[in-house]
Homo-oligomer: A and B are copies of this chain.
Amino acid sequence: MDTADYGVTARLADYIVSTGGADLPEAVRHEAVRSFVNIVGCTVGGARHPNVLLADEALAPFAGQAQATLFGRGRRTDILHAALINCFASSIYSFDDTHAQAVVHPSGPVATAALALAELRPVAGHELLTAFALGVEMECRLCKAITIPPAKGSIAWVGTGITGGFGAVVASGKLLRLDATRMRHAIGIALSQAAGFRAVHGTNCTAMLPAHAAQTGLRAAMLAERGFSSSTVALEGRYGYLSVFCEEPDIEVLAGGLGERFELCSNTYKPYPCGIVIHPIIDACLKLRQDHAIPADRIAHVAIKASAGAMALCDRRTPRDEMEAHVSLYHWAAVAILRGTARMVDADTETAVRDPAVVAFRGRVDAAADQSLASDAAAVTLTMTDGTTLSCQIDHARGSSARPMTDAELDEKCLALAEPVIGMARARAITERCRNIAVLPDAGDVPRAAA
């Protein structure tokens, strides 16, 4: 049956266990801090979203002792409930990070699991940063290895759902200082609970899948610490993770060049709170509006050429609520053209979904896939009521690898998300602590600033 060979799971576990912060190049540590600033901002920003309150209210009766901070609230709770609810918050606006190739939002499950644990078992900021970086790195490697050609994966699986638990268990296990054997068991436990298919896209489950991954990953590490067993070859073993989630995984992407190639450095951050494949369309619409200042009632038709990915994931013409709007390219095209901005969060999106002007304008928008467009590219053509046309092509969306958000923009995003929830003083404090996580004496001071 299972071979005792030194396979992929063992290689990764050994790498995780043996890697310290000093082994990560400066560029990797810097990108990890950027990812961290962004995701903590998203977590605070989403903390008081009605759907997050709903989930917390439904499940709080079953939660445990005050061990960890529920972001944006006065209450503390057990670390498993905290990881679940905080990660749910981190993803509720679809504002979290995205790997440039793999369709995964890696930081939410990793950060929220690690931060909850850091309140129960105090660690220095640099330790948390190393664990976070390794978790994100492993999650991105795994998702890329099972979804991006030459790998033959399936778009039906939700990337963050099926790889987020891996990221969370890596970070949690690292913070718990598991040895290599226990790390392999921890990975096996977490991977065996990996879940999520895309039919739930555009519902509360879109953000619940990462949340569930955060919780199962953290729990797996706690079980393995006590000696709970799983397969030690869960990735490559017969009937194992790779066999069920991918027809032909790319093992080199998963386990090659450890310590040399870093997928974390391909992480990107969103300027707009919606599906990332919509972003180049928003950029094009905003630019057309900015350059030409056309009144909306003069626009007869909007023709969008979108990437194949945008059409596969966000071809949703009539969103019924905010969760569906997050993955409706028609909605965001209309909003960008009508309002000249796409930065709104909170009640704004929910309101915009029902705004009669937006609803009416969506009807004038058409979209078709253009296979030549990369996922960060789009072209938009406006046809005026007088028959004239205006076009704009975006080759790389804002926030993509080619046009990354600057450090200052990320700090600003974090601040803007946090301020309405915890006030400006705490928002400044948490942004600063995230930016300086590497020298923070107690990592738990990050979540505690978010209460």
* Chain A residues near B (Cβ < 8 Å): 1-2, 51, 54-55, 57-59, 61-65, 67, 78-81, 154-157, 161, 188-189, 192-205, 208-209, 212, 216, 219, 222-223, 225-231, 233-234, 237-241, 243-244, 315-316, 321, 323
**B58 lies within 8 A of A197 (CB):** no
CB contacts (< 8 Å) of A79 on chain B: these are 62
CB contacts (< 8 Å) of A219 on chain B: these are 59, 62
A233 and B209 alpha carbons, distance in the complex (Å): 17
CB contacts (< 8 Å) of A230 on chain B: these are 200, 203-205
CB contacts (< 8 Å) of A321 on chain B: these are 229
**B228 lies within 8 A of A58 (CB):** yes
A157 and B195 alpha carbons, distance in the complex (Å): 12
CB contacts (< 8 Å) of A203 on chain B: these are 188, 229-231
Residue of B nearest to A193 (CB): B195
Known: A192-B196, A205-B189. A58 touches B226 (CB 8 A): yes
**A237 lies within 8 A of B188 (CB):** no
A164 and B234 alpha carbons, distance in the complex (Å): 21
**A61 lies within 8 A of B64 (CB):** yes
**A157 lies within 8 A of B244 (CB):** yes
**A233 lies within 8 A of B199 (CB):** yes
How many copies of the shown chain assemble into the complex? 2
CB contacts (< 8 Å) of A233 on chain B: these are 199
Residue of B nearest to A212 (CB): B193
CB contacts (< 8 Å) of A192 on chain B: these are 161, 195-197, 199-200, 205, 208-209
A225 and B230 alpha carbons, distance in the complex (Å): 34
A155 and B231 alpha carbons, distance in the complex (Å): 17
CB contacts (< 8 Å) of A63 on chain B: these are 64, 78
**B243 lies within 8 A of A156 (CB):** yes
**A199 lies within 8 A of B239 (CB):** yes
A227 in complex: contacting residue of B54, B156, B188, B216, CB < 8 Å? B54
Q: Apart from A1-B202, A192-B199, what are 7 other A-B pairs with CB-CB below 8 Å?
A: A59-B80, A62-B219, A189-B200, A189-B205, A192-B196, A193-B195, A193-B196
**A223 lies within 8 A of B55 (CB):** yes
CB contacts (< 8 Å) of A194 on chain B: these are 195
CB contacts (< 8 Å) of A155 on chain B: these are 239
**A228 lies within 8 A of B55 (CB):** yes
CB contacts (< 8 Å) of A196 on chain B: these are 192-193
